[in-house]
A = this chain, B = another copy of it.
Amino acid sequence: MKKSEFFFGQDIISLDQFNRKSVEKVFATASIIKKTSAKKLLKILQGKVVGLLFFEPSTRTFSSNCAAVKRLGGQTIEYQNPLLTSSVVKGETIEDTTKMIEQYCDAIVMRHPIVGTLKKVADVADIPVINAGDGIGEHPTQALLDMYTIYEKHKRLNNLKGLMVGDLLNGRTVHSLIRGLSIFPNNTIYLLSPKQLRLSEKDLEEAKRRKIKLVEIKSLDEIPPDCHFWYWTRVQKERFSDKQEYEKLKLSFILTKKLVDEKAGKNTLLMHPLPRVGEIETAVDSDQRAVYLTTEPKNGMYVRMALLKLILEK
């Protein structure tokens, strides 16, 4: 898992493996794939089998990876919730499951509820392993797809001004995106959240060390003009002991048509990792700048195709 611009045979476990050059390599590959005809792509993973082992539900990430493998001409062995239907029930360790499944596959994409599992899996596996999210740990491909979406629009990943809203304390995608953007110089992120859900001191410290500028703001009024992107996330009810306070705060963090009209710039990307449950008005969906239901998931597939190609194609 060392930093490298060369991917063949490697695991993708953490965003920390990436440097500027390797991120750009992934994005250049994704852009080429996006322009290649469906039939030509089928040669890239022809004869390859990828294990999709999802030990936790995930419509989006599962489907996206499944499509990525198949659009490259590869085949899949699929497990959704194997905790219910597998040897794991009989008490098999994740290491043994990994060793077994890798006899049948050329690569493994795994999601697991427990932080750190993917590192363990990559250590025992002789074939490449891609982290599709482990607990509240990392979800590197999500960050890469968000970064790619910004990059595709603004043609760069440095000198950006972004806004992140919602549950910044617990949001795995928020943490990963901050980490990803810190690979590039001179980025500033404005942070807006209920005070119970602020980014932790530890995360703020780490950002400082990584030289990405974070600016906490207190209300929608303080959103600076002409952000390159707004990254919205869900404020989860279950995080509040005081439900009345939740109900009051909730309304302060809804992305409305009105807010977009007043505060978004002409080129501000409206982003959200999904699923959303009310924190973006559906009236915003048809706005040209809204990419959460369209370009973001689509790019997720292309970024995953790029990673699979780089890892598996000689």
Contact A77 B87 (CB under 8 A): no
Q: Return chain B residues, CB-CB under 8 Å to A95.
A: 282
**Inter-subunit contact A59/B42 (CB<8 Å):** no
Assess whether A112 is interfacial by the CB under 8 Å rule: no
Say which one of A44-52, A176-184, A206-214, A256-264 lies at the interface with B: A44-52
Decide yes or no whether A96 CB sits under 8 A from chain B: yes
Asked if B38 and A42 make an inter-chain contact with CB atoms under 8 angstroms apart, the answer reads no
Q: How far is the CA of A92 from the CA of B280 in the complex (A)?
A: 12
Q: Is A225 an interface residue (CB 8 A)?
A: no
Check if A249 is an interface residue, CB within 8 A of chain B. Answer: no
Digitize A23-44: 1 where CB-to-B-CB distance is under 8 Å, 0 elsewhere: 0000000000000011101100
Stretch at the interface among A13-21, A60-68, A167-175, A185-193: A60-68
Q: How many copies are assembled?
A: 3
Which of A58, A63, A276 is most buried by chain B, counting CB atoms within 10 A of its CB?
A63
Let me know if A89 is at the binding interface, CB within 8 A. yes
> Is B66 within 8 A of A77, CB to CB?
yes
Q: How far is the CB of A41 from chain B (nearest CB, A)?
A: 7
With both beta carbons as reference points, the residue of chain B lying nearest to A293 in the complex is identified as B99
Distance to closest chain B CB from A54 (angstroms): 8
Whether a CB of chain B sits under 8 angstroms from the CB of A298 is yes
* Minimum Cβ distance to chain B for residue A21 (Å): 28
Residues A86 and B59 in contact in the complex (CB < 8 Å), given A99-B293, A293-B96: yes
Cβ of A75: which chain B residues have Cβ within 8 Å of it? 70-71
Stretch at the interface among A101-109, A134-142, A151-159: A101-109
Q: A46-B42, A70-B75 are in contact. Are A63 and B101 (CB under 8 A)?
A: yes
State whether A104 and B277 are in contact (beta carbons under 8 Å apart), knowing that A60-B87, A70-B49 are contacts in the complex.
no
Contacts of A298 in B (CB 8 A): 103-104
Indicate if the CB atoms of B51 and A47 lie closer than 8 Å. Answer: no
Q: Is the CB of A22 closer than 8 A to any CB of chain B?
A: no
A82-122 vs B: 1/0 string, CB under 8 Å?
10111111111001110111011100000000000000000
Given contact pairs A42-B47, A63-B104, A92-B277, enumerate 4 new A-B contacts (beta carbons under 8 Å). A59-B87, A78-B78, A90-B277, A99-B293
